[in-house]
């Protein structure tokens, strides 16, 4: 399974880099996980968007779905050479207005996923866990059927202990790490220290911290995460275009 980072900032794009988006590939299957601001432009560098097999959204905050509308137009304006006749876009149905927006003519179609159902999608089995966030958001576990490799994406969430079991033994864990260790007050995202703790407790093999802040020193964020995770865990910081193979 290959995971490529197409955007990693939280909230809004910054300095030429967009918000949440990851291309997850196995064999010739292409899954776009989140479709934030700037993600379509970045995707076009690597893959004709008509070659997508599916899109999956963790939640409907704009930094995770801002480019869904323009992706729908891309499909509408290219009726030839599509890999699929209609692009399936998976999302939660807790928010019906946003879910309904995933269907555009016959070009794209919204399909619901559910927390207690495993989604069998091409080469993947996909599981979901509701996170703690101001709107319904779901952490996503993607298991490659042919290898049993596990990729977990925490989506947006504050830290809570229930994440540990869901992230258990991930070959790659991508965490929402939007805050430095010293963040005070209400937190709807994890701090560096909490990401490191989650990595350690869940025995993740590799961790990429993402959903990054636009301020401060990202080296400091990485340092704080590594200090908590310990030296057994390979912790990296998200980089645009970085591809990780597991």
Q: Kindly determine how many residues on this chain lie close enough to bind Zn ion according to the rule CB under 5 A.
A: 4
- Around 201, how many Cα atoms within 13 Å sit in the side-chain half-sphere? 15
Shortest distance, position 95 Cβ to Zn ion, whole Å:
12
Q: Is 141 in the site for Zn ion (CB under 5 A)?
A: no
**Which residues contact residue 6 at a Cβ distance below 8 angstroms, ignoring those fewer than 6 apart?**
18, 21, 22, 23, 32, 38, 39, 42, 43, 240, 241
Question: With contact defined as beta carbons under 8 Å apart, do 40 and 71 qualify?
Answer: yes
In the bound state with Zn ion, the residue whose beta carbon lies nearer, of 61 and 226, is 61
Residue span binding Zn ion (CB under 5 A) among the ranges 63-71, 94-102, 104-112, 231-239: 63-71
Residue span binding Zn ion (CB under 5 A) among the ranges 56-64, 103-111, 119-127, 222-230: 56-64
Dihedral in degrees, nearest 10, Cα atoms 107, 113, 119, 124:
60
Shortest distance, position 179 Cβ to Zn ion, whole Å:
12
Shortest distance, position 231 Cβ to Zn ion, whole Å:
30
In the bound state with Zn ion, the residue whose beta carbon lies nearer, of 10 and 123, is 10
Q: Is 65 in the site for Zn ion (CB under 5 A)?
A: no
Residue span binding Zn ion (CB under 5 A) among the ranges 43-51, 58-66, 78-86, 160-168: 58-66
Q: Is residue 120 packed enough to be buried (19+ CB in 10 Å), middle (13-18) or exposed (0-12)?
A: exposed
Q: Which one of 63, 144, 193, 194 is in contact with Zn ion (CB under 5 A)?
A: 63
Question: With contact defined as beta carbons under 8 Å apart, do 32 and 84 qualify?
Answer: no
Q: Is 156 in the site for Zn ion (CB under 5 A)?
A: yes
Q: What is the C-alpha to C-alpha distance for residues 224 and 191, in angstroms, rounded to an integer? A: 9
Which stretches of the chain bind Zn ion, using CB under 5 A? 10, 61, 63, 156
């Amino acid at each position: 399974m290959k995971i490529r980072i197409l955007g990693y900032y939280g909230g809004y794009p910054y300095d030429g880099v967009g918000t949440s988006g990851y291309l997850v590939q196995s064999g010739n299957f292409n899954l776009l996980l989140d479709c934030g601001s700037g993600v379509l432009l970045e995707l076009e560098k690597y893959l004709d968007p008509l070659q997508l097999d599916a899109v999956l959204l963790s939640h409907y905050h704009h930094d995770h779905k801002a480019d869904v509308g323009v992706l729908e137009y891309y499909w509408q304006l290219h009726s030839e050479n599509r890999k699929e006749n209609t692009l399936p876009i998976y999302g939660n149905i807790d928010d019906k207005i946003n879910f309904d927006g995933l269907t555009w003519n016959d070009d794209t179609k919204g399909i619901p996923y559910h927390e207690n159902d495993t989604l069998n999608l091409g080469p993947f089995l996909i599981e979901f866990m509701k996170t703690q966030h101001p709107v319904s958001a779901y952490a996503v576990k993607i298991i490659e059927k042919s290898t049993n490799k596990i990729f977990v994406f925490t989506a947006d969430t504050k830290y809570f202990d229930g994440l540990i079991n869901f992230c258990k033994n991930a070959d790659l864990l991508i965490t929402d790490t939007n805050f430095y260790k010293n963040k005070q007050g209400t937190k709807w995202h994890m701090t560096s220290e909490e990401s490191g703790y989650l990595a350690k407790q869940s025995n993740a093999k590799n961790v990429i911290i993402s959903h990054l802040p636009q301020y401060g020193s990202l080296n400091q964020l990485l340092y704080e995460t590594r200090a908590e995770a310990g030296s057994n865990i390979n912790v990296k910081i998200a980089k645009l275009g970085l591809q990780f193979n597991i």
